[in-house]
Amino acid sequence: MTEKHIVLEDIDPVVFYGVGNAHLQMLKALYPKLRIMARGNVLRILGDEEQTEAFGRNVERLRSHVLQFNSLTAEDILDIVKGHRTRDEVPEGVVCYTTSGRPIKARSENQQLLVDAFAKHDMVFAVGPAGTGKTYLSIALAVKALKEKTAKRIILSRPAVEAGEKLGFLPGDMKDKIDPYLQPLYDALEDMLPQVKLQDMMEKHQIQIAPLAFMRGRTLNDAVVILDEAQNTTPAQMRMFLTRMGWNTKMIITGDMTQIDLPPKAKSGLVEALHILSGVEGIGVVHLGQADIVRHKLVTRIVNAYEAFDKEKAPI
């Protein structure tokens, strides 16, 4: 009798085992001669050597399937155990999948330009109004790089600038104080990574979320680094951030020129950077517009109305 231990690396065991351990029970039924026990992310198998090895190979295929698609069905299990072909290949254009199995891909021409620019350049500026998907798609590209092991970690940052409100002193420790500014980044990550896996990655510092002020003095290697809401950086902050770039690192800087929350006389670091770095080799710039808005249809109308208002009040 052979004993084998299999570690379900890089995936959420809950997805693998299924609701109420339904997938695990199904595997036990498909391999009645094996004794299969699960604890955490480790499977312990006892049985005939040949069957144990075959089971191990199929578990690896199932694990790879979950890693790629963030989901597993009874049909997937049957296909793999019976040696049939499953949806092993990601359809063209899909960046990654949400935790519910929904494909994430570019939904407009300019969003596709962002995907292409990320593949071609080490530094990309994505500029556009609210709802154009610049932050969400950027995080999806980072998650894909982490899953494919072309990057060892994801670093997400934002300037801690209030959007027209003075929140005053926030209660709690440092994490409690900065989390409200970083919540949009958490929201996107939670949509793409199972909660247990996301928590594990954050504890291991594979995914780091920090306000811009925490970037000073660091050199960021082997990472995908995203600076969100970059229109609210000062020129000094932007310069500091851009020079954190290390070996085998890609940077995406996103911003919306219509939502600058800096004091009236302060200059935006994003505006200055786009001017200074225009034409620099290795830097891509993607401009998104109303046609790229992927939120509720009213968002497009609201953006158009505000743009028309801004033009009317602009000095002639």
pLDDT at 167: 44
The pLDDT tens digits for 140-161 are 999 999 988 999 999 999 887 6
CA nearest neighbour of 144 among 40, 252, 238: 252
The pLDDT tens digits for 193-209 are 888 888 888 899 999 98
Highest mean pLDDT among 127-131, 222-226, 303-307: 222-226
The reported pTM is: 0.77
Contact 157, 252 (CB under 8 A): no
pLDDT at 178: 64
pLDDT at 316: 45
pLDDT at 258: 85
Contact 288, 114 (CB under 8 A): yes
Contact 138, 252 (CB under 8 A): yes
Contacts of 196 (CB under 8 A, 6+ apart): 12, 13, 14
Strand ranges inside 61-113, DSSP E: 94-97, 103-105
303 has pLDDT over 80: no
Question: How deeply is 217 buried, as exposed, middle or buried, from its count of CB atoms within 10 A (0-12, 13-18, 19+)?
Answer: exposed
The pLDDT tens digits for 87-113 are 555 577 889 889 888 889 998 999 999
4: enclosing H helix or E strand: strand 2-7
Question: How deeply is 312 buried, as exposed, middle or buried, from its count of CB atoms within 10 A (0-12, 13-18, 19+)?
Answer: exposed
Instruction: Round to whole Å and give the CA distance between 101 and 69.
Output: 6
At 254, the pLDDT band (50, 70, 90 cuts) reads very high
pLDDT at 86: 60
